Every structure is written in C-alpha cells, then in structure tokens.
Amino acid sequence: MQLSDVVTLGKVKADALVPFNHRWVGNRFLISNDLGDHLFVTPDELRTYVEGRTVPGETLHEQLMAKNFLAAGVNIQVEAARWRRKRSFLFYGPTLHAFVLTHRCNHGCQYCHSSIVGMERTDTDMSIETAERAVDLVFQTTSPGVTIEFQGGEPLANWEVLQHIVEYSRQKNALAGKALSFSLVTNLSLMDDEKLDYLLDRKVQLCTSLDGPADLHDKIRIYKQGSSHELVTGWMRKINQRYKDMGLDPNLYRVEALPTITRPALGRWKDVVDTYIDVGCRAVFLRKLDPFGFAARSAKTLGYSMDDFLTFYINAVEYILELNKQGTQVMERHAAIMLSKILADQEPNYLDLRTPGGACIGQMGYAPDGAIYSSDEGRFVAAMGDEMFRIGDVNSSYVQLMTNAQTRALVMAGINDGQPDCVNCTYKPWCGQQTEYNYKTQGSLSGRMRDSVWCKKHKSIFDYLMAKVEKADPVEMAIFERWTTNRTLDHFLQERGAL
Ligand code: SF4
C-alpha cells in the first residue's frame, strides 16, 4: 500500500509535519524520520496525521508528538544533541585499524578472499619496520579509541611481528592515553599454550571462523593436517575456560566466532546455530558470502542468490527466537545491531550500517608491504589486482590519508542522503553504505540501490525485523530488548597511560 492510496495530495498539511518516509510493513504503515524515530500507524491514522487533523490529548496526537513527527513538538536543542550523540563518529578519525601481518596460511578455504600463499612464503610477512610505521600512523588518528585488528592470511604465522606491534603500541599509548584494544582474527591452527598465555596476558580479544558442524566446516575450510573443526572448537572451549578461570563473566567473555554461509549451509540453519550454542557462543553473526576476491571465483560452487540467503536468514532467526523462548540466550548479531538502532536509539558504529560509511574515516586496512586501503574490503579488491581503494602507504602523512581525493570520494559516495533511493527510504536513519561493495558488484562507488543486493539484503532484513516488532508479544519484545542491551567488554581495553 502507498501513501497515495490513503492521502489526497491537496489535503496534506505540510507545515505541521516533520519530513518522514513511510512503508507498508506487516499490517500497518511504518513511518520514520531523520531523527531515528518510528511509529506504526493504520491507513486512517496516517491520513489523519498528514492532513493535520490530530487532536491534542488523543493517543495518536500524543504518540506523534512524542516521536517527533509533528513540527510543533520538536525540541530543536534536545534533538540536535541526540543527533550529535548518534553521529559522534563524525567528530574523529578512524578507530579500526586492520593489520594484515602476512599472506601466508595453512588452510585452503574454498571461499577465501585474501591473496593467500603457502607457509614457506615468508616474503609476504609484514616487517617490523613497516609495522612500526603503521602503528605510528594509527596513533595519529584523532579518535579517542583505537582497535588494532590482526588479520591475514593467518596472523599467528607472523608471531614475532604481532608481539612487537602489541608492545610498541602499548609503549606509544603510555603517552597517547587512548582507549586501546587489540583483536586477533585467527583460524587457531598455530595456537599453542605459550602464545595463548601471552595473548590473554595482553588482553588480545580472540575471534575465529566456525562455519557449522564438522562435516560442513571441514568441507569448506580445508586443512591438510587434520580436522579444522576439531581444532577450532577444541581451542574455543579451552580459551573460554581460561576466561572463566580468570574470573571473567562467562556470559560476556568468550571467543568470538563468525560463520560464512555457503550453499551447502543453506538448508542447515539449525545445525549452524546448534554448533555455536554447543561450543559456548551466545551470538551468531549470519554473514552472506561476500563478492570480494577469491570468493568470487568459488561462487559457482558455493554461491547462491540473495533470496536464498534471506530464506536461510529468516529460518535461522526464527529458530534462534524459539531457542530464546525455551530459555537459551543466544542472539543474531545483524538483528541485534539493527534493533539497537531502532529500539534503543543507539549507534553501535557498525561500519557497514552507518552513514557516511566506514571507508577511510571509520577504518583503514594495512597490507604487509605497507600499502594502506580504505578498509579490509578495499584490500580484498587490491588482492584481485585493482588498486582502486589504495589511499596511501605507511610513509604517507595522516593528513594526506584523510584528505586526499580518493578518501573524499569514498566518504561522499557512502552518504545515504546522496543516494536517490535512500533519501526516500524508511530505513535510511538506520542503514548505511559500503562503497567497496557497490564498486565490486555494480562498478561504481555509489552503486544503484534499486538493483543492489546490498540494499536488498538490508531492506529485507529490516522488513522482517520490523514486521516482527509490529506484532511482537511481550515475550518477544523482551528478547529483542535483551539483544539491544549494550555490554561493554572493558577487560579488553589496555590500561590508559600504563605499561
Ligand atoms: S541501502 Fe536500501 S535499505 Fe538502506 S537506506 Fe538505502 S534504499 Fe533503504
């Protein structure tokens, strides 16, 4: 149903209204404004609203006032402060710094999007000199918080440089006093007790890949020396136990794991979710196979349509909701991020769902040779021979990196208000762009949202979630609210100013 089905244009009382977008969701219109408020209204209520016929004291009028849909009810100062809070990331430079420590890896994952080489190719490791220059740049960011994320290849293969970066960064931070944290994305195959002791001592957050049950995981994540699944789940259990032994809250402190959904997983949403619960996870981040790098080459065997993914996603989230109702606390991260924005008025600064997008000003990717990219995805594009997203190298100055033509173009292309379809979209206040994805799938930084799979994924998930919210009973609302509760993992922050 469209606005024009219920409203006669000549009767619209534009000066009484705040600009809004609308969409038919579930059994009502969902309306939203740029401040991030939303309301479900019936066609009659929408007509009453746009014709300026609401009556003070009546429920509809008071709801519209409370949600900033009536111009007379908007407190500009309060709303400006609220907008500023949710856009606070615009006031400082990039927070996330992804360091690719090596291109070496001992796994042969079918969808791998990195430019992976064999373990003997130590020439693809980041050197200590390059690492130090990169850290020097990281500490020039105006962001009060910095996360250095170790990536690869398998970053544990370049252990000496990883340790050096941790120690060097801590030294620099004694002066800088930033909220510094480290995270390591690892397949865990090179983990040993000594490395684990160091990583736990230095509060490095651990994140791994787990694609589901053993037959699914091992079929895709090929490890010649044995079962990758056995190895990963074994270490996850061991590390989770170590967190417990350290007195950390087991509900918060666990190894993070991410699945990549491939075609063989599509019918197995239960198996994927059950695997995560079995190994102690409280969250699953259901990610579609991305179009970057080597994954594009394996699309014929592992790929699927966005419709297939959405069917998988909805089945999995329905199952997760059912488990929650039966007492198992587990969340789907994509849903949790979206609902945090919509229901809790938070801005989690998830780089794929913010505007402007995260390219350059939210994150930067550092290659082993010192090249710097707009993001990890920008680096994946480079791994396929296209340097479109290279914004400089470790010899560039921070000012050059932040102000050059590429960076400015990427930021401008990542603004929803500059997108013809987004400006009229009900989900605009909570959605975002990834210019690298637009470029890879549609050949331009801005893309065309009308036929973009990026847009289709997000719009469909928003539709699904909002239809759930529209008719949620108190039990379901309590689950959604629990998913939106912000839990900070303070343990992973380095002590400010201390060594
Ligand atoms: S990307 Fe799609 S869903 Fe997101 S705001 Fe733009 S049009 Fe809406």
- 132 to each of 127, 170, 184, 323, how far by Cα in Å? 9, 12, 18, 47
> What is the position in ligand 1's atom list of the atom closest to the CA of 459?
3
In a shared domain, residues 38 and 80:
yes
In a shared domain, residues 140 and 217:
yes
Provide the pLDDT for residue 162. 98
For residue 384, pLDDT beyond 90: no
Q: Does a structural domain hold residue 319? A: no
Please give the residue that has the higher pLDDT: either 485 or 144. Answer: 144
Give me the torsion for CA of 170, 174, 175, 177, rounded to 10°: 90
Domain termination site, one of 86, 106, 140: 86
How far, in Å, from the CA of 64 to the mean position of ligand 1? 24
In a shared domain, residues 225 and 342:
no
Q: How far is the C-alpha of 198 from the C-alpha of 482, rounded, in Å?
A: 33
User: Which amino acid type is present at position 22?
Assistant: H
Q: Does a structural domain hold residue 68? A: yes
> What is the position in ligand 1's atom list of the atom closest to the CA of 458?
3
Q: Which of 455, 461, 464, 466 to mutate to test the pocket of ligand 1 (most atoms within 8 A of CB)?
A: 455
Binding site membership of 86 for ligand 1 (Cβ less than 6 Å) = no
Q: Does a structural domain hold residue 101? A: yes
434: left (phi over 0), alpha (psi -120 to 50) or beta: beta
Task: Look up the domain containing 472 and give its range.
Answer: 330-357+414-499
Least Cα distance to 422 among 464, 381, 465, 462 occurs for 462
Binding site membership of 459 for ligand 1 (Cβ less than 6 Å) = yes
In a shared domain, residues 109 and 188:
yes
Least Cα distance to 34 among 18, 13, 11, 48 occurs for 18
Binding site membership of 427 for ligand 1 (Cβ less than 6 Å) = yes
How far, in Å, from the CA of 422 to the mean position of ligand 1? 5
476: tokens are 């379901």
Among 60-69, 279-288, 289-298, 444-453, which stretch is predicted with the lowest mean pLDDT? 289-298
Q: Does a structural domain hold residue 322? A: no
Binding site membership of 461 for ligand 1 (Cβ less than 6 Å) = no
Give tens-digit pLDDT for 57-107: 999 999 999 999 999 999 999 999 999 999 999 999 999 999 999 999 989
How far, in Å, from the CA of 494 to the mean position of ligand 1? 37
How far, in Å, from the CA of 428 to the mean position of ligand 1? 6
For the chain, the domain total comes to 3
How far, in Å, from the CA of 355 to the mean position of ligand 1? 11
Q: How far is the C-alpha of 168 from the C-alpha of 183, rounded, in Å?
A: 15
Instruction: Please report, for the domain that includes residue 197, its CATH number.
Output: 3.20.20.70
Binding site membership of 455 for ligand 1 (Cβ less than 6 Å) = yes
Note the pTM of the prediction, 2 decimals: 0.94
What residue's CA is closest to ligand 1, atom 7?
Answer: 422
For residue 497, pLDDT beyond 70: no
Q: Which helix (H) or strand (E) holds 442?
A: helix 435-442
SS3 assignment, position 388: coil
How far, in Å, from the CA of 40 to the mean position of ligand 1? 19
In a shared domain, residues 176 and 78:
no
How far, in Å, from the CA of 36 to the mean position of ligand 1? 14
Q: What number of residues does the chain have?
A: 499
> What is the position in ligand 1's atom list of the atom closest to the CA of 419?
6
How far, in Å, from the CA of 342 to the mean position of ligand 1? 15
For residue 282, pLDDT beyond 80: yes
For residue 381, pLDDT beyond 80: yes
60: tokens are 């509809």
Q: Which of 22, 425, 465 to mutate to test the pocket of ligand 1 (most atoms within 8 A of CB)?
A: 425
Q: Does a structural domain hold residue 96? A: yes
In a shared domain, residues 101 and 144:
yes
For residue 149, pLDDT beyond 60: yes
Provide the pLDDT for residue 485. 83
How far, in Å, from the CA of 425 to the mean position of ligand 1? 6
496: tokens are 């400010």
In a shared domain, residues 106 and 203:
yes
Binding site membership of 341 for ligand 1 (Cβ less than 6 Å) = no
For residue 295, pLDDT beyond 70: no
For residue 498, pLDDT beyond 80: no
In a shared domain, residues 103 and 62:
no
Helical H segments across 29-127, by residue range: 43-50, 59-66, 76-86
In a shared domain, residues 70 and 101:
no
Q: How far is the C-alpha of 480 from the C-alpha of 465, rounded, in Å?
A: 10
What residue's CA is closest to ligand 1, atom 1?
Answer: 455
What residue's CA is closest to ligand 1, atom 2?
Answer: 455
Binding site membership of 458 for ligand 1 (Cβ less than 6 Å) = yes
Q: Does a structural domain hold residue 189? A: yes
Domain termination site, one of 32, 67, 86: 86
Q: Does a structural domain hold residue 222? A: yes
Domain termination site, one of 71, 86, 101: 86
Give tens-digit pLDDT for 418-465: 999 999 999 999 999 999 999 999 999 999 999 999 999 999 999 999
Q: Which of 459, 460, 463, 464 to mutate to test the pocket of ligand 1 (most atoms within 8 A of CB)?
A: 459
In a shared domain, residues 151 and 234:
yes
Q: Does a structural domain hold residue 398? A: no
In a shared domain, residues 63 and 99:
no
Give tens-digit pLDDT for 19-61: 999 999 988 999 999 999 999 999 999 999 999 999 999 999 9
In a shared domain, residues 334 and 449:
yes
